[in-house]
Structure 1
Amino acid sequence: MVLLEEEPHRLLASVQENFGIDGDTAQIARISDDLKSLQSSRQKTKDDQQRLLRNLTRALNAAKQTHDEAAKTHQSARHVEKLYELDREKFNLGKKILDLEKQTHLLEGQLAQLRQELDNLDADDPTDRAVQEEDDGTTLKLHVYRGLGIELEEDGAGGYSKAIVRNVAKGDFNIVNLEEKKWTRHFYVNYFWDLL
């Protein structure tokens, strides 16, 4: 209880001497100066950045305006070029249509000619001709045999003694002696078919 017996102002003075706040106040003053310097530096940096931002914004707006004008000019040039291209395409299509019409007229003429030939061929029946030339149809039969690749040789007595059978697919031919007394007509028909 010795401490309480001393006077309070002496105690306070003793405490004040032991604490030494001069260093602390100097430190606080330094910190305050540093804060002011930092704030000033930050404000300067902020002002510089804002000035740079304004300059970049102006440059961006100018670039946008230039781009928009160039795009309008380019679009109009492109439009003109597209019109020329469409005109060329229209001209080429017109030329092709004219060529196709000419070709159509030629083909229609050929078709009419072929139809006329077909009508003539339909009117000219070989059966009628053969009947008119020879009443028994022998000419027609010989014509059919030749169409199949079979040629008959006459024996001089009104009959046939030999038959030459040509096989076009194999590239060969056979000579067959016709002997009606020995073989029937049915046999010869089957034999000729086998050779063909």
Structure 2
Amino acid sequence: MPAPSILRDVFHALRAELGEEDTGITFDNGPLPLDRIDVMVYGAAAPLTATVFATVGMSVEPMAPRDGRAGGRAELRLVRQGAVEPRDQGLIARQLANLATYPWTVGRPLGWGETVSFDDDVPTFPGCRSVFLAGPWEYGQAGSIDTTTEPVRVINVVPISDAERTRALSARPEAFFSELLDARGVFAPPAAKG
């Protein structure tokens, strides 16, 4: 069965923005309506650049609005500084695929400015058991992907430490993220305090 047009549009938009992916990891049999989630991996070209992970499949259906939170369609993106080993690529992809199913398994949409916690650290981000979901923060960074169906929001997944999560829950999202961007590079785990 061919992919829905919205997913083809998302895939082609990613290719136009990031080039051809190095690999794609597929997760089948997700909760309906997410029968399949693909995580595209765009490898780092040099040690100081980043590896980008992007979901394709979450936007097949809109998330239901709840408690004043936006519904709509979205896809996830996580950026990791430097090259990522294939085994770790798979672990990060699995975490993103599981997060993509969150609106349908937990019954709550995902949106900019929210935090989500996990039982274990985000792979390759030691000490980060939560993520902050961010919109665009750099000039020219895409906040959405135009499709023939409707715009698809890009949700940037930023792993954060327990201390950062505590601050995120007590501050306005914009203020917290501005502080975080000033404090550290968000493409790498926070530096261990010694």
Question: Structure 2 length normalisation: TM-score?
Answer: 0.18
Instruction: Write 1 or 2 for the structure with the bigger share of strand.
Output: 2
Instruction: Write 1 or 2 for the structure with the bigger share of helix.
Output: 1
Question: Structure 1 length normalisation: TM-score?
Answer: 0.18
Greater Rg over alpha carbons, structure: 1
Greater relative contact order, per chain length (Cα 8 Å cut-off, separation 6+): 2
